[in-house]
Structure 1
Amino acid sequence: MVPLKLAALIFYIISFLTTSKSVDEFTYNGFRSANLSLDGMARITPNGLLKLTNSTTQQKGHAFYPDPIIFKNSSYAPAFSFSTYFVFAMVSGYQNLGGQGIIFVLSPSKSFEGASPGLYFGLFNQTNNGKFSNHIFGVELDSLKNVDIQDIDDNHVGIDINGMKSVSSNTSGYWDNKDLFHNLTLNSGQPMQLWVEYDGMEKQISVTLAPLQYSKPNRTLLQISYDLSHVLKPTMFAGFSSATGPIQITSHYVLGWSFKINGMAQSLDLSRLPKLPRVGPKTISKVLTIYLPVIGVVSVSLAIWGVVCYVNRRRKFAEVLEEWERDYSPQRFKFKDLYKATKGFRDKEILGRGGFGKVYKGVMPRSKSEIAVKRVSHESRQGMKEFVAEIASMGRLRHRNLVPLLGYCRRDFGLARLYDHGEDHRTTRVVGTLGYLAPEQNRTGKATTSTDVYAFGAFLLEVACGRRPIDPKAAPNDLILVDQVFSYWNEGDIFQAVDPNLSNDYLKEEVEIVLKLGLLCSHSEPKFRPSMRQVMLYLEGALSPPELSASGQKFAQHDEGCDGIPLWSYPSSSSQTVFTQTSSVSNSLLSGGR
């Protein structure tokens, strides 16, 4: 009995002396002056890199923390939780070729005398590979596919237990915060981060990979349920192993490393990690001789282009105020403001098209007020004198049935040169759009409430019939819309005038009221036209539908239009009124149509 007690006491003392040196946490921000156990090719470079392999073929290299670490209280006790975090890099001399990789390893010994290089990573050999008695746990970073050990590809991370055939593996990469997977090439020469964690309570192994300067992803690359209590011995050594094959083209580095038992390994100070060596020849001469001159030429060209664009933009939106414009009450708007208000006069903003141009809807940039802008084509038949006449006349119009003219815009030529010296630019020319002008307005040049009703009647017929009040392309009998509609009504079938695009998708009672009311408002005699109040009552159904008399209805137009020009020499247009002019187009700004 005494010898047995003595033996037990000796064993206890030896165990105490052995484990008393054990630590449960360490951190290396670079390995300069670090006390690591190195063998084979492994060495620490002058700037603090842990280099596991060199250009020698068929060799191995190991680097271990020198002291043993306690992983469980006894042989049959459950293993403690642990975590490790390190930064590594694989630098290949060829872009698409890799060598044997790096493996983080927990081993009961730091000696691997009988281990083979190549696919065995300097840890095992053909005889003991996969044996339970090895008691080795590892996480491999492999950039070479070995069919013999069933590697999934030539760029993967794997969890190894007692051998090089991984119990779980995945292609190298990481998951971002949006749950998108990004591939990482292990032998790219770029530093990467790896976290290995074991939860002793949940019996779960987790591996997470990420590029440098990227926070630890929330989603792991590998995660399996596995009880390491049967693999790990009470004390183990932690370190790294690597090896070379028949052809050595890749160097393997560890830049920093931390480890902790029963907790999270400490984060590394990435700014303190050593720099990787340069790969390939210096490119500074190429930069100076090729790239720098090209960058200089491109920069100068961009600068010149920017100046030209700025000058052209200033010229495009330049505004010159002439003497004649100072006499008018309507405001002159900047073309730049109108351009922004109409979103560049794009087609989606068009309200309608007329004989002299297009009408756009818009919102003023500063006041946010809604406007209508008529952009008059320079190629239209309306001359510059007519444009100035409209500005001069409409600027003085104040009528309850007309929206006010807010202003105009004119730009890159002068309007004063269109007038003879000494000629008064104030005009009494008739202002309006042919087809909407009442017959008496052509003679007198005066706008009245009755002429407004006439224009509204032309508008009603235009909407219901889907054609312009005056169509120079139509047959002689169909030239004037009001005459054609009256002819249909006189024949007892007024619905022949309805826009064919409506098909039968309309209420006959409503369309009949609109057509009859359009004819009544378009009467050649002002006294027979209804008032706008009556028009609204008809449309709202407050009054019975209007009755027409064929004997008393006249719709004949005068042969002469404005300034003695035949009516059919002008195409009809919408009721928007001109108010702006540019070198290629003219633009009009109102708060709405007539």
Structure 2
Amino acid sequence: MFFKLLTIFFFSLLFQSSSKTLNFTYDGFPQRSYISIQGIAAVTPNGLLRLTNTTVQQTGHAFYNKSIRLKNSPNGTVSSFSTTFVFAIHPRIPGLSGHGIAFVIAPNTRLPYATPSQYMGLFNITSNGNKTNHVFAIELDTIRSTEFNDINDNHVGIDINSLTSVKSSPAGWWDKKGQFNNLTLIGSKPMQVWIDYNGRTHKINVMMGPLNEEKPKKPLVSVVRDLSFVILQDMFVGFSSATGTVPAEHYVLGWSFGVNREAPPLDLSKLPKLPLLHPTRISYFCRFGIPSISIILIFSCIFLVWFIARRRRMFQEELDDWETELGNNRLRFKDLYYATKGFKEKDLLGSGGFGRVYKGVMLETNLEIAVKKVSHDSRQGLKEFVSEIVSIGRMRHPNLVPLLGYCRRRGELLLVYEYMPNGSLDKYLYNTPEVTLDWKQRSKVILDVASGLFYLHEDWEQVVIHRDVKASNVLLDGELNGRLGDFGLARSYDHGADPQTTNVVGTLGYLAPEHTRTGRATTATDVFAFGAFLLEVVCGRRPIEIQHESDEVFLLVDWVFRLWNSGNILDAVDPNIGSQYNEREVEMILKIGLLCSHSDPRARPSMRQVLHYLRGDAKLSDLSPLDLSRSGMMFGVQDGFSELRMLYASSVCKRFTSGSSIADSLLSGGR
């Protein structure tokens, strides 16, 4: 019996171990093989794996299309693995080349958002350096990219989730005498590379040498890195390459790979032959036209030097040491400049007291963005402000506008958000809009904003006070879902702690009375602003309007309360909503808006309670105007809604038009 059980156990292990590929060898690549190719990669008739051709600005990928199990469990350590391959790079113009080859271990066989040129078909401007890439690569780079701290234009580097190599070395090999010999990657000659990873010591060794030379004893590049946090349980192995403005052909002649063993040796005699490679002939025009062109170049050089210097000054940025701690959230001003086509007025989405917003499209990813330019004349408090904005930008919620990154230059701070195609909610409410929203659409937006604000207050790792909830800061995506945006005034603090704010910031009409007295912003002051927002969306009127003829102040909350008190609360509904709406639902939301606008912050509901009311999980108790009056809330002129009325009727109010923002010393220490 024991022998039978042992036999069953042995064969089950054998079956499990054979379910994932452990090693393979290609002495040339047949047309029908387990190689998956994308981009401009192809397998030639004689068995060469050609990653790129003479097409410029393109990528080529080739992966073994069966996954390799590199961990025994998802949280386990990476097994030892080894690979060797023979490659050759043929430049079409002698001395100039594309951007090299990389051996890659990735979670799948496709890298759809990778870009060519310096990104080598591995990453793009936004994904480079992202820990969620789970990409390990050995680059054979033939172009020096200063943005990735490349050592030269002929080097080998170890890359982990980024093209900034953890360690690199000039291309070459150590012979048996211990002497270092240089190798030229773009020499059109086949060369062999060996890559070993020791799962026990976590040591990565990279060796290379000319064809027919033995594997060097001394590695070219060596580093100790635990890949357990980079490599997943099942991964794909292959190659990536890219061309830039100069065409080049990248070939792989043979390849083998092994797990928990040394890569099987290649039979070099069976490798396919490279095609006869001839440099591009110099054209007749270049041969005889160079003397004439050189004269023009002499005069052009002066202009070129001036132009380059001017462009450098234009794209010059400010970068302090503390910004390196913020990760990869910083974007290049040059990319934002080209994305917005120079911040032209025709691409201006809106402007206000806190900045101007431009529409743009990132050239390399075609991602539509909105760029907000904010002035920062003072450096005091700038580090805290940027750090907080970037920290808040880590939030991910379907009803918040995601912050993609920031940039800083010449007294300006640029905040980059995802673009919302349907713009801000206020344009559907005021000034006789061409397109209006019916009640179903408005109630959906109200629920979306409540959900986003609840996430800020209670559901994220910190408490975030938005401090500027209003219709113009609610953006609508392509499906008219509401997203709360513009976190320029937001402040975060730990759960259970007290918010340390000292300045009155926000927008007139949405400021809670206690906030204007003390300057202290809390979740209750956000709830007050949300109450004004509810009335704004249902009534189609701003929370505060100045009647310029009579110089009187109209308070929306006061007007709605008086209609409720007279039994005509539904008269406050925006006529543009039409007649197709649920009267009980509208009345409930108007009452929630009034309750959130209570002058006593202790009487206001939390966003959790508001969300329960809106979703129907809890029933709003039957309220009457008398109930709110008894609890200390006073509306109406004769009832004395004095605190807000005195504030908005003051000279401070008259200095601002409705909807103006107050942002005193925004970047100073007392936010």
> TM-score, length-normalised on structure 1?
0.44
Structure exhibiting the larger radius of gyration computed from Cα positions: 1
> TM-score, length-normalised on structure 2?
0.39
